[in-house]
Amino acid sequence: MPIISSGIETEMVVRYQTGTTAAGSPVFRQKAFSGLKMDVSDEDLYEAATTLFALLEYPLVFVTRNNRFDLIEE
């Protein structure tokens, strides 16, 4: 039974540092932006994240891309 994979959407997850604890350890937060088109390039996704965080006071730590697929039987 073959399975067909059909792309639905891409989600961009950004992790950023909001400060430090009293002990000096970094405090991180994470935000997901879902509903993005599957055909967006990795470069465009990363550029969007870095451009957005250039406007904010928090430093961007990393960007993750999650692709979502529907799986159906052929």
| Domains of the chain, residue spans | 3-73
The pLDDT tens digits of the residues spanning 4-22 come to 999 999 999 999 999 999 9
Within the chain, which residues score under 70 in pLDDT? none
Q: b/e map of 38-67 (b: 16 or more CB within 10 Å)?
A: eeeeeeebeebbeeebeeeeeebeebeeee
pLDDT score for 74: 85
Residue 16's closest CA among 47, 65, 49?
Answer: 49
pTM score, whole prediction: 0.82
